[in-house]
Every structure is written in structure tokens, then in C-alpha cells.
Amino acid sequence: MGTVTETRDETFAFYRCHVCGLPHEHVDGVKRQCSFGSDTDSAELSDAGPPGRRVLGERYRVERTVGEGAAGIVYECTDLRLDRLVAVKLGPPLEASVPQHQRFLREARTMAEVSDPGTIVVYDFGVLSDTGQAFIAMELLHGETLWERMTRPMPLSVVRDIVAEILLVLGAFHARGVVHRDIKPDNVFLSDANPGEITVKILDFGLARHADERDKVSAGNEVLGTPVYMAPEQVWGGGEIDRRTDLFAVGSVLFEMLTGQEPLEVRAAEPLLTFLRRAGTQPRRSLASLRPDLPEELAGVVATAMSLDPKDRFPDARVFLRAFIDALGGDESLTDSSSWRIS
């Protein structure tokens, strides 16, 4: 089942789900968990044993749990061979869910395809012989997710720098034909490993695929992604999924960073299928309607990114970035991925 993250709205009636991005009710004081996007019971993903007691793959000693999502649990582990701390993500065993198991292994290969400061370094991956669970060993990050950062005021300059880095990293993957398909604030990490510097990292490539391949590890009519940020073609599943699908999600994230609200109104207790129908056909809200103080050009950039028809969106991440920076007054250095990092 999916895990949950508290909504920024100060209310006790609903919480915002980590998996689908929609508000769910508290039922008799208990959070109703969301099964969207996950067909594996949490018990099949967890139980790595007491910290310091279990060793995964005869190499990674579990120290503590650092994160949990619909497709796996992430542990901080000590690499006993190299004597260093790493993150190990455990997925489902093959017999629990063949599609999720295959998708998990594909995630590791995809993450290793691009070498960029904005990607996570993969050290090792495979299947544990004792449990049959897939695992990925990767660099251990320190910092916070964009979702966590969005709980505090964000100057426009910070919004600019974070979104610019997201687009630069996505551009590197798009150049290799890889589409992420699940860009959202929870999957953007602000790493503070270097003193005085924040590096944006893109997380969770479990749904990523090459734009020219059919998803052979999806189950039936399964909808893959996070509904709040999904483009119409991703909602319906019948359209072409390419780099413009990711750019729609970036536009949605940018809208939320600037307004504190989702681009498509989220109604409490609305059934997921009802929301999906609206997400597939209803134009997103105008940035100018909520932030008339921002430049008109910026509102136009956001609207273009979130166009319902992919043909009306930016063709690639670099064109999006150029228009975005121009709308904020221009800064040539921000289009060169080797020349800057957030300070």
C-alpha cells in the first residue's frame, strides 16, 4: 500500500497522499491508505529486520529506514566491503508482482544511463538470494525533498534555480530518449552534501522508459504516474508519451511552487476516477488568476508547459528553460549545466 505525507493545509479532516497526490479522509482518526499505483502489500516490501542485525546480500548492513513509497523501501546501510554508508532500496519479490519486480530492475539500469550531477549514483543492483527481492544500492543523499522545501516560503530566485536544474537534468535523460513519467515534488531532492551548495537530484525512475518503447511491464490498463501532475495523454494511456509529458509535469510543479496550490483544483473526497476524468480534459488554472503580481510572460510559460495538447507545449527541456529564464529577465548562465549550481 502507499505511504502518506501530511498536507500543508492545516486541517485534520484530510491528508495528502504520497502516492496519488490527492486528499484522503481520516476515517475514525485513521488515515485511509491509497492503493493507486501499487499492487503490492507493504508487508511484501518491508521487514529488513532490526537495525544492525540484518545484512542484505551479505554486504549491506541495515542501519535505519530513510524512506518508503509505493514501489519500495529505502534503508541507510553500511557497505561492509567499502566501509561507507549507502542507500539501499528494496523492492518486491518476483512472485509478489512480476510487473513491479521488472520495473524495479529497469529503474536501476535507467538511473545508470546518464552521468550528471543531478542523477543518483548507482553502485550495485540485483536480487537477494534469500528473499527474492530486487535491490538497488546507491549514493546516500542528505537534504530534503522539494515537497518539504515547499512548506516554507520560496523566493522567486530559488524557484527559478530549482526549476532550471530540473529541466537541465531532464534534458540529459531526454537526449537519451528516456521519459521519467513521474515528476513531482516528492521526486525532486535538494541535496546539501556540499557546504553552501544545493544540488537538485531527480528521484525514482521506476516508471521511466524510452520514448520509443511500449511499456511491457505494466499490468493491463494500469495508470502509471501521480494524477495531480499527469498530462492528459498519460491519464488516458492512449496517447504518445514523450519528453513533452515530463514537461507538462514540470509546469505543474512550477505552478504549485509559485502558488501553493495544484494547477487542477483538488476536491476533498473526490473519487480518483472522477479526478482522472477531469485531469484528462479540463484546462489547468491560470497562474495570473492566483499570482497577478508575477510577470505576464511567466504566466504564459506556465500555460504553455501545461497545454492539454502536447503539440502546444515546449518541444524540449532546453526551449522550456530558455523561455522560463527570459520570462524572469534573462540569465545566460542558467542555460549551461556546467556553469552553475544553487548556492
Catalytic positions: 182
The cell numbers describing 203, all together, are: 528521484
If DSSP codes are grouped into helix, strand and coil, which group holds residue 74?
strand
The cell numbers describing 41, all together, are: 502489500
Of 245, 241, 237, the closest CA to residue 221 belongs to 237
Dihedral in degrees, nearest 10, Cα atoms 16, 17, 18, 22: -80
CB 179 within 8 A of CB 241: yes
User: Rounded to the nearest 5°, which phi and psi values hold at 139?
Assistant: -65, 145
User: Rounded to the nearest 5°, which phi and psi values hold at 73?
Assistant: -120, 140
Task: Assign residue 35 a region (left: φ > 0; alpha: ψ between -120 and 50; beta: otherwise).
Answer: alpha
CB atoms within 10 A of CB 332: 9
